[in-house]
Amino acid sequence: MPSILGANTLSSGYDVDNSARFDQPDGADTLRLAAAGNDGDPKHWTLSMWIKRSKLATLQHVWSWSANNTNAEGGFAFDTNDQIFFISDGQNGSTNEIDGVFKDPSAWFHLVWACDADNGTNALRWRVYINGVERAITGDPTIQDANGIINRGSSQEHWIGGRARSLNSNVSDASFFSGYLAEVVFIDDSTLGPTSFGEFDDDTEIWKPIDVSDLTFGAEGYYLDFENAAELGTDVSGNSNTFTESNISDVHQTTDTCTNNFATMNPLNVPVANAPVFSNGNLNLDSAANANKFHGSSTIGVSKGKWYMEFKPKSGDYSFLGITGDPGEDARNEVNPGYSATGYGYYQGNGNVSNNNNSSSYGNSYNSSGDIIGVALNIDDNELKFYKNGTVQNSDTAISITAVASTPAGAYFFTMGDAAADSSSKAIANFGNPDYANSSSASDGNGYGDFEHAPPSGFYSLCTKNLAQFG
């Protein structure tokens, strides 16, 4: 099976500059394309998009269509088992799944859904491709006829980020999407295969995007590249089929894409009990009730190079920010960073740094009223430094860390935890793709990342473009 573009690296080819971040816990982040007078072709169409998931094990509708206030609807969604299912014509149609479980919050993958309702073989009327490879569909899908609802006639609408019928008719289950989307393309009047949108890299065999701007989109087609931060629903196909935004602003634009994948925090590596709440693309972490627990670690670990990130405390007084070489132990034992032999946590309350469950004086305390904590990890020299609001702590004397080869994971991960048995500690992780606006927008030496303070010279944001060069 071809590789999913997670922490795998590609150094060349067509670049996707931006994606859009959608978030389920904080609200209904949706894009809506209103009904139009043109009917399009309901029998032949193709949908293509790149997806990176955030919240798992919940019902989430990614793309849908609906006739207003009727049971007629269609689209695709993730179910509570992290499988993808497809809907045609709502309660009167069919629900069909594809094989596979999609439970990797570190990875981008590509989906193509192609419809040829005139095909004489019913099983071939819908075809679904993941990273260029066709996936089997359970059962024979019910395909709409010429009067079907995929077209944007007098009442049909397209939605991204939620279930169209629920949003139109105020049905209680709106099941919003939580994650990242890039290169959303809808082709009207044509049934296309995956090679119209991507190709296998000659060196790595990773499926990667290609330039789609020269495709024929059809009258009701659209292409969302998310490059206009002021209006993320902008259609650049030439059809002006621009979506209306709901609960979406310019901070929902991100440079975390299918050609430059940024680290986030990992919702899979958490305590079994009292797991933290992840939101905003797995960049926000809120402690659970009665927490005194380890909170989370980054989706990407590193075993060489020099790496920089920032934490922004939101509330509480008991945060630990830092790194760990054994995120699994921290999660299993429900402890904070600084507990294990390869954990180093900078404590909010007094500015001390803990390692191997021992605390020592280090720097200044910090608060949740705007302080930014920078973490500079130098694995090449086994050193660690912390910054408060751009000022290096401990008189610029580095912390000596355990060599990465001796860590249980064979890599170091950025991490956040909580030292108190309450639910007050909250923080935002910024690996260079923040969910908030920085005042300075400082980048690393390669021009990647968006930080409040400039990374130290020679340190880089944790993304696959930098990993290909330095990781």
CATH number at residue 460: 2.60.120.920
Q: In this structure, are residues 412 and 300 in contact, taking their beta carbons and an 8 Å threshold?
A: no
Average the pLDDT over 26-34 and give the result.
81
Does one domain contain both 408 and 462? yes
Does one domain contain both 179 and 292? no
Residue 448 clears pLDDT 80, i.e. is over it: yes
Q: Is residue 10 part of a domain?
A: no
Of 191, 223, 254, at which residue does a domain stop? 254
Looking at residue 458, the DSSP 8-state letter turns out to be T
E strand or H helix at 402: none
CA distance 182 to 20: 7
Does one domain contain both 224 and 308? no
Which residues, including other chains, have CB under 8 Å from residue 154's CB and lie 6 or more apart? Answer: 35, 37
Residue 371 clears pLDDT 70, i.e. is over it: yes
Does one domain contain both 284 and 383? yes
Q: In this structure, are residues 337 and 345 in contact, taking their beta carbons and an 8 Å threshold?
A: yes
Q: Is residue 260 part of a domain?
A: no
Does one domain contain both 236 and 357? no
Q: How confident is the model at residue 124 (pLDDT cuts 50, 70, 90)?
A: confident
Which residues, including other chains, have CB under 8 Å from residue 21's CB and lie 6 or more apart? Answer: 29, 179, 180, 252, 253, 254, 256, 280, 281, 435
Q: In this structure, are residues 111 and 128 in contact, taking their beta carbons and an 8 Å threshold?
A: yes
Higher local confidence (pLDDT), 296 or 468? 468
Q: In this structure, are residues 324 and 295 in contact, taking their beta carbons and an 8 Å threshold?
A: no
Which of 35-39, 111-115, 129-133, 337-341 shows the lowest mean pLDDT across its residues?
35-39
Calculate what percentage of the chain has a pLDDT beyond 90. Answer: 61
Q: Is residue 11 part of a domain?
A: no
CA distance 270 to 90: 37
Calculate what percentage of the chain has a pLDDT beyond 70. Answer: 83
Strand partners, 329: none
Give buried/exposed letters for 347-360 (b at 16+ CB in 10 A, else e): bbeebbbbbeeeee
Residue 433's Cβ-count burial label (10 Å; 0-12, 13-18, 19+) is buried
Check which CATH number belongs to the domain holding 201 and give it.
2.60.120.200
Does one domain contain both 229 and 308? no
Q: Is residue 264 part of a domain?
A: no
Residue 3, pLDDT score: 41
Which residues, including other chains, have CB under 8 Å from residue 463's CB and lie 6 or more apart? Answer: 256, 260, 261, 262, 263, 431, 432, 433, 448, 449
Q: How confident is the model at residue 121 (pLDDT cuts 50, 70, 90)?
A: confident
Does one domain contain both 118 and 235? yes
Higher local confidence (pLDDT), 293 or 270? 270
Does one domain contain both 61 and 184? yes
Report how far Cα 345 is from the mean position of its chain's Cα atoms. Answer: 26
SS3 content of the chain, % helix, strand, coil (to 5): 10, 35, 55
Which of 101-115, 136-150, 454-468 shows the lowest mean pLDDT across its residues?
136-150
Q: How confident is the model at residue 5 (pLDDT cuts 50, 70, 90)?
A: very low
Residue 292 clears pLDDT 80, i.e. is over it: no
Higher local confidence (pLDDT), 275 or 27? 275
Q: Is residue 261 part of a domain?
A: no
Q: Is residue 95 part of a domain?
A: yes
Q: Is residue 217 part of a domain?
A: yes
Does one domain contain both 301 and 227? no
Does one domain contain both 295 and 245? no
Of 189, 219, 254, at which residue does a domain stop? 254
Q: In this structure, are residues 280 and 70 in contact, taking their beta carbons and an 8 Å threshold?
A: no
Backbone φ and ψ of 442, nearest 5°: -75, 140
Q: Quick one: CA torsion of 276, 167, 88, 176, rounded to 10 degrees?
A: -10
CA distance 162 to 169: 13
Domain that holds residue 202: 19-254
**Any idea how long the chain is?**
471
CA distance 183 to 20: 10
Average the pLDDT over 58-78 and give the result.
81
- Compute the mean pLDDT over every residue in the chain, rounded to the nearest whole number: 87
CA distance 471 to 468: 6
Residue 215, pLDDT score: 98
CA distance 283 to 307: 17
Q: Is 0.85 topped by the overall pTM?
A: yes
Split into its structural domains, the chain has a count of: 2
Residue 406's Cβ-count burial label (10 Å; 0-12, 13-18, 19+) is exposed
Q: How confident is the model at residue 289 (pLDDT cuts 50, 70, 90)?
A: low
Residue 392, pLDDT score: 98
DSSP string, 76-131: EEE-TTS-EEEEESGGGSEEEEBSS----TT-EEEEEEEEETT-SSGGGSEEEEET
Does one domain contain both 223 and 330? no
Does one domain contain both 131 and 185? yes
Residue 38, pLDDT score: 65
Q: In this structure, are residues 245 and 229 in contact, taking their beta carbons and an 8 Å threshold?
A: no
